[in-house]
Structure formats: C-alpha cells, structure tokens
C-alpha cells in the first residue's frame, strides 16, 4: 500500500477560468519502506464546488413530478461520442462574490427553469460536499431538494454562458418512472449526479419509488 507523504507544486501548465496544477508527490511504499515519486495533475478553479438541486413539484394528491432542464450543452460529451445537448441536472458553481451553497441552489432553479423555489421549499441533503473526481479535481457537490411551481409559460434565461442558451434551455417535467428510465437510457448528461440528488430527496420525503408510496 502506498501512502502520500508529501506533495510539492512544480508547475502550473494552464491558468484561465480553470487551472491545472502539477504536483510531485512522494509516496511511501509500506511494503518496502522506500519512497517513490509520482507526478499528478489537479484541476481546480474559482468557485469550483457545485450546488446540485433535485427539483420536484408536489401535487395535492401527493404525486411527485421531477423537473430537469432541457438544453444542457456540454462540449466534453462530443469526445465520448454523445450528443452535444441533453437533459441536465439543475445546478451551478459557487463562482460569484458572496455565494453560498443555498444561494446558488435558489439562483440556479430560477435561471435554468424560470421558476422560483417556493417559500420554505429548499432543503439541504447532507452537510458534507461530495467530491466528483477525487483523483483529478478539487470539485465537490452539495445537494438540495427544492419544491417549485412552474408558471404556464416559463422562460428561463440561463446564466448567459455558452452552455445555457436562451431559447434552448427550458424545464422538462416528468414522472419519477420517466426520470429513472431517462437515467438508464443515457438521456441525462449528468445521470450520476441526478441519481444521487433525487435518491436523497426521495429518502428525505420518505417516498419509496418501487412501492409508489410514502412510508
């Protein structure tokens, strides 16, 4: 087993909105007792952490609908041979002055769905941020449940960036069965994040999808 004992920054190959930093890591090999060296690159950036939101609409009969966003444009998907635009999770980075996880969660619901969170309808799902790529990046996610009401003709504007384009981005309502089917079929670009977010949200509400009821 190898245990990191020291990490020394040796270069910064790229600095822009995101940063790539290269470190020389000294590893102690417990089986031999001899130190070994390895190089590693770490991706980071301003406000690198993310608030991910499981947005739900609750009907008077207790029925739940999930709300995702259509028009989630991510260039990296093309390298995997996937469509440039897919369904996506609601969420965003903590990259503006004064940001905190809950503020970002509320802002992203309004920006990406064109609807506010109802009063008292934002609930944190866990206290710790979960790393998304712990071996490569400093990024970590905080998860939230948000209850929202969509207006008759929502017109989300996105954040003005190239990955959220007005006219392309819009809310998509779906049943929980449709949500989980979309995950399995690869229709959601961030399916892993969506699974964690909605799994935690339904647990918090005491709803068991397989049974179709609250417990």
pLDDT at residue number 183: 94
CA distance 69 to 49: 20
Evaluate if residue 171 carries a pLDDT over 60.
yes
Higher per-residue pLDDT: 160 or 174: 174
Average pLDDT over residues 152-157: 85
Evaluate if residue 191 carries a pLDDT over 80.
yes
pLDDT at residue number 53: 98
Task: Quickly state the pLDDT bin for 13 (edges 50, 70, 90).
Answer: confident
Token duo for residue 127: 């206290």
Evaluate if residue 3 carries a pLDDT over 60.
no
Evaluate if residue 2 carries a pLDDT over 60.
no
Nearest CA-CA partner of 55 in 144, 129, 178, 165? 144
Model pLDDT for residues 44-66, shown as the tens digit of each residue: 876 779 999 999 999 888 899 99
Average pLDDT over residues 14-31: 77
Q: Tell me the average pLDDT of the chain.
A: 86
Task: Quickly state the pLDDT bin for 5 (edges 50, 70, 90).
Answer: low
In the chain the domains, ranked by start, together with CATH numbers, are: 2-44 (no CATH), 50-208 (3.90.79.10)
Task: Quickly state the pLDDT bin for 33 (edges 50, 70, 90).
Answer: low
Cβ-based neighbour number of residue 63 at 10 Å: 11
């Amino acid at each position: 087993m190898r245990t990191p004992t020291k990490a020394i920054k040796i270069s910064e190959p790229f600095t822009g909105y995101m940063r790539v930093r290269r470190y020389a890591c000294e590893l102690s090999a417990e089986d031999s007792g001899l130190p070994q060296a390895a190089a590693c690159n770490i991706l980071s950036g301003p406000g690198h952490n993310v608030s991910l939101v499981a947005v739900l609409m609750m009907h008077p009969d207790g029925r739940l609908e999930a709300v995702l966003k259509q028009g989630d444009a991510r260039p990296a998907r093309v390298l995997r041979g996937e469509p440039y635009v897919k369904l996506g999770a609601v969420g965003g980075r903590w990259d503006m002055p004064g940001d905190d996880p809950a503020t970002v969660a509320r802002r992203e619901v309004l920006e990406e769905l064109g609807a506010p969170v109802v009063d008292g309808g934002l609930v944190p799902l866990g206290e710790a941020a979960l790393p998304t790529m712990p071996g490569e990046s400093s990024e970590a996610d905080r998860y939230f449940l948000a209850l929202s009401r969509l207006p008759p003709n929502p017109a989300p504007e996105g954040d003005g960036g190239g990955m959220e384009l007005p006219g392309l981005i819009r809310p998509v309502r779906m049943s929980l069965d449709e949500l989980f089917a979309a995950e399995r079929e690869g229709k959601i670009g961030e399916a892993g994040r969506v699974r964690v977010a909605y799994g935690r949200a339904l647990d918090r509400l005491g709803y068991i999808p397989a049974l179709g009821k609250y417990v």
